[in-house]
Amino acid sequence: MRSLLNTLRLTLKELSAIRRDRVMVALIIYVFTAATWLVSNAASTEIRDLAVAVVDEDRSPLSHRLTDAIRPPLFAEPEVLSPAEAARAQDEGRYVLVLSIPPGFERDLRAGQAPALMVLVDATAMAQAGNGAAFLQRLLADELQRYADPGGGASDPVDVVFRNRFNPNLTATWFTSVMQLMNNVTILTLILSGAAMIREREQGTIEHVLVMPVRPHEIVLSKILATGLVILLASISSLVAVIHWGLGVPVTDSLGLYALGAAVYVISVGSIGLLLATFTRNMGQFGLLVIPVIIVMLLLSGGMTPMESMPDWMQVAVGIVSPAPHFVAFAQSVLYRDAGLALVAGELLRMAAMAAVALAVVLVRFRKVLAG
């Protein structure tokens, strides 16, 4: 009981320190409101108003028909250019796609030959180039099919019907908003937990804490609990106010289960932040050390690229050393698919195990730092 009271008092002290730090409070508010909103709306891989140019060397009714088929909202109104103008414009980065219709295209098609359409793709815009080229290819194929069979009598032997679950309209905002929230939780938990320790050293208040009748584990737990409580409340508020109400993302009603998983996650990430802080002496060193850790955790979390696209050994390694992929899988299952506790218990247990190991390591390391 005495240890719990000491931890509670130290946690209140940490919360008071956070409250007095106006820059930190402003940063937390900005990250979980404006930053989440801006990134969710701006960072989109959806194809919309994609710049397309057409080099029409056929000048036939079919070539005009194909040009007219390229229309908003997927594509901007295409501009007809000469070959030299199109090459120069794509070199300048003004067009992602350039459709080239060769001379005699309609004549050759009517003669039963197999004329070719060429699409030049600016592959430096990877997501837009890949998706845009696929959409344009499908659009041209459908238009040529209608031209060859105006009555629509021919049909495929198999009718494949797609039904998109959990995101029927394939709206990128539904995905990017929640993933941005996950990234914010990871970044701020790592930085704030480590900064709490560095701040004590730089201000010289760590000596005051050491002369108090408290134990090292009470100090560590108080810093993790204070940081975790602030981040947890901020993330839930952002999920409801910004993502659900503001962006219209239909997250499920499993906020209680999400809060449980997020609490376990912030404990594990906060422990990592404190562990990194024990290897540094000031905020400059801590910043240089935490940046590569944040980059690796975010890029290999499954929130930016699918885990299945990584090599098998990488998936295993990341799943062992980082709690981020487990939290991303947990959050997507709970918020999107309305998964119950039974379905996400495995991810919760893995995060809890990582939190326990991280806490044990940081306690051992923290005792060595205090002894030094």
- Residue 24 sits in the same domain as residue 56: no
How high is the pLDDT of residue 58?
A: 93
Quote the tokens at residue 135: 């959409």
Q: What do you get for the CA distance between the two ends of the chain, in Å?
A: 29
- Residue 203 sits in the same domain as residue 114: no
Q: Do the Cβ atoms of 98 and 90 come closer than 8 Å?
A: yes
Is the pLDDT assigned to residue 13 strictly greater than 90?
no
Which among 133, 148, 163 is the end of a domain? 148
Full residue range of the structural domain in which residue 348 is found: 2-43+171-371
Is the residue at 323 inside a domain?
A: yes
How high is the pLDDT of residue 361?
A: 87
Is the residue at 138 inside a domain?
A: yes
- Residue 144 sits in the same domain as residue 20: no
Q: How many domains does the chain have?
A: 2
Is the residue at 241 inside a domain?
A: yes
Is the residue at 155 inside a domain?
A: no
Is the residue at 161 inside a domain?
A: no
Under DSSP, is residue 23 helix (H, G, I), strand (E, B) or coil?
helix
- Residue 143 sits in the same domain as residue 192: no
Distance of CA 237 to the CA centre of its chain: 19
Is the residue at 135 inside a domain?
A: yes
- Residue 267 sits in the same domain as residue 305: yes
- Residue 85 sits in the same domain as residue 29: no
Distance of CA 133 to the CA centre of its chain: 24
Is the pLDDT assigned to residue 372 strictly greater than 70?
no
Is the pLDDT assigned to residue 231 strictly greater than 90?
yes
Is the residue at 346 inside a domain?
A: yes
- Residue 33 sits in the same domain as residue 175: yes
Under DSSP, is residue 113 helix (H, G, I), strand (E, B) or coil?
coil
Which range scores top for mean pLDDT: 82-96, 196-210, 355-369?
A: 82-96
* Amino acid, single-letter form, for residue 72: P
- Residue 257 sits in the same domain as residue 327: yes
Is the residue at 164 inside a domain?
A: no
Distance of CA 359 to the CA centre of its chain: 27
Residue with the bigger pLDDT between 214 and 342: it is 342
Q: What is the pLDDT of residues 133-170, one digit of tens each?
A: 888 888 898 888 888 777 655 555 566 677 777 777 77
- Residue 33 sits in the same domain as residue 82: no
What CATH number does the domain containing 80 carry? 3.40.1710.10
120 sits in which H/E element: strand 118-121
